[in-house]
Amino acid sequence: MIVTQEHRENLTAIAEKLRPLKQSIPTDSEGNPTEEYLEYLSLMYLPDVARVVKNLKPFPKFTPIGLLSKKTGVPTKELKTLLADASKKLYLVNVGPTYALPTPLFVFDGPFILKSSYGGENGKKFAELGKKNFEGGYWKTWETHADGTPEMRVLAVDAEVKNNSVVLPADEIMKIIKQSKSFAVVPCACRNREETLGTRKCKDKYPIHTCLLLGFYGKLLGTKYADSEVKVISREEAIAHVKKSAEMGLVLTSENVENRSKIICSCCECCCSFMTGLLNYGNKQAMKKAKYTFLIDAEKCVGCGVCKTRCKFNAINVEGKASIESSACLGCGLCAVTCPQKAISKELLS
């Protein structure tokens, strides 16, 4: 709750620091942070906290606590106490004696990763305000860079099926995992948001604990947060984790970057902030296609329709034999994972 004009001004200052970053902030018709967004931030930063953290820079630029003390006039010991709760709940990124604001991604999703946040009295308020912002137009900013480039990309699973239909990750997924040394499984913020609201459509179909944080974030959450929702796993377990996600029918995605991805998401069609943009809002740039396309061998295909039931993007038709509409296919490969005839193969896009 915004309690004073000073509190509002400090929250606005925090929002303005996040505005230039990818995924930015939700704005009204005049280009100002929406009232719902400021209310959302007020749940993270109480007046005394907002007065201090407005001086921080967004991650990955950290501010030493000594410098923060000089800027604010608050002794370092008092600062540590003042910022402890926000740090514990991931409203701040805290590494040793340094602090940073979370990125817009973690402002939106962070409250649904740790039990200490979404399990508290503000959990439902976070969900309501977040969804109101998203559906009010933030979805496009959230899903797409200012130049129109998608924020996330689809990762193709391998079409080769071995050992009783256990799917292997494609080389690209293996590369992402091999680049990282730390791994942590956390709740899917999108499904957890819907779960908190009591509106999750896939409640009996998909689990919530499916997101895989890698590298810095995997290590940070795995070592700093004694939260029941965070599970540290090994590289081998990470590989098994993405296999399982693909087998159950979740689309594997990651950041639209070439190297050092921080996350591998396992996305469903009803909750995912990116997939709903594509499927519900018609934002064709919500997700970048995988580097592969998938082909059906007409001689092997028997038209059973298993692939059609697994396709999230309505890209498969079955009329005697199955066929894939290449313009609608995003190359996730879920169709190939459980094809009984092993009739679907992947091909690298030129």
DSSP labels for 22-40?
TT---B-TTSSBPHHHHHH
Residue 137 CA to residue 97 CA, distance in Å, equals: 37
Q: Are 252 and 157 in contact (CB under 8 A)?
A: yes
Q: How confident is the model at residue 165 (pLDDT cuts 50, 70, 90)?
A: very low
Mean pLDDT value of segment 26-51: 97
pLDDT at site 167: 53
- On whether both 63 and 101 belong to a single domain, the answer is yes
Residue 37 CA to residue 35 CA, distance in Å, equals: 5
- On whether both 127 and 167 belong to a single domain, the answer is no
- On whether both 260 and 166 belong to a single domain, the answer is yes
| Percent of the chain's residues with pLDDT above 70 | 96
Nearest to 26 by CA among 254, 17, 35: 35
- Helix (H) / strand (E) containing 172: helix 171-178
Structural domain count of the chain:
3
Cα three-residue angle 73-79-81, rounded to 5 degrees = 150
Query: β-strand 98-100 against 63-64: which pairing, if any?
Result: antiparallel
pLDDT at site 260: 76
Which pairs from 234-238 meet CB under 8 Å and 24+ separation?
Answer: 234/183, 235/177, 235/178, 235/180, 235/181, 235/183, 237/183, 238/177, 238/180, 238/183, 238/212, 238/214
- Residue 300 token pair: 């092997």
Q: In this predicted structure, which of 17-26, 181-190, 217-226, 310-319 has the lowest mean pLDDT?
A: 217-226
Q: In this predicted structure, which of 97-101, 160-164, 165-169 has the lowest mean pLDDT?
A: 160-164
Q: How confident is the model at residue 166 (pLDDT cuts 50, 70, 90)?
A: very low
Residue 81 CA to residue 65 CA, distance in Å, equals: 12
Q: Is the pLDDT of residue 254 over 70?
A: yes
Q: How confident is the model at residue 168 (pLDDT cuts 50, 70, 90)?
A: low
- On whether both 225 and 124 belong to a single domain, the answer is no
- On whether both 50 and 118 belong to a single domain, the answer is yes
| Percent of the chain's residues with pLDDT above 90 | 75
- On whether both 57 and 31 belong to a single domain, the answer is yes
Mean pLDDT value of segment 10-17: 98
Q: What is the CA radius of gyration of the chain?
A: 21
pLDDT at site 159: 57
- On whether both 44 and 163 belong to a single domain, the answer is no
- On whether both 138 and 151 belong to a single domain, the answer is no
Give the model confidence (pLDDT) of 170-212 as tens digits.
678 888 998 899 999 999 999 999 999 999 999 999 999 999 9
Residue 133 CA to residue 127 CA, distance in Å, equals: 10
Query: Dihedral through CA 264, CA 267, CA 272, CA 276, nearest 10?
Result: 120
From 288, 317, 342, the end of a domain falls on 288
pLDDT at site 169: 62
- On whether both 15 and 92 belong to a single domain, the answer is yes
Which pairs from 232-239 meet CB under 8 Å and 24+ separation?
Answer: 232/182, 232/183, 232/184, 233/183, 233/184, 233/185, 234/183, 235/177, 235/178, 235/180, 235/181, 235/183, 237/183, 238/177, 238/180, 238/183, 238/212, 238/214, 239/169, 239/174, 239/177
pLDDT at site 163: 40
Residue 191 CA to residue 53 CA, distance in Å, equals: 29
Nearest to 44 by CA among 123, 159, 138: 123
- On whether both 157 and 272 belong to a single domain, the answer is yes
Query: What pTM was computed for the model?
Result: 0.91
**Domain span at 173:** 147-288
Q: In this predicted structure, which of 60-64, 80-84, 243-247 has the lowest mean pLDDT?
A: 243-247
From 272, 288, 304, the end of a domain falls on 288
Phi and psi torsions of 158, nearest 5°: -75, 135
Q: Across the strands, what pairs with 58? A: 101
- On whether both 224 and 236 belong to a single domain, the answer is yes
- On whether both 259 and 300 belong to a single domain, the answer is no
Mean pLDDT value of segment 49-58: 98
Mean pLDDT estimate for the chain: 92
Mean pLDDT value of segment 336-341: 91
Which are the contacts of 221, defined by CB distance < 8 A and separation ≥ 6? Answer: 90, 113, 184, 186, 213, 227, 230
| 3-state DSSP percent of the chain in helix, strand and coil, to 5 | 40, 20, 40
Give the model confidence (pLDDT) of 210-233 as tens digits.
999 999 889 988 888 777 889 999
From 91, 126, 143, the end of a domain falls on 143
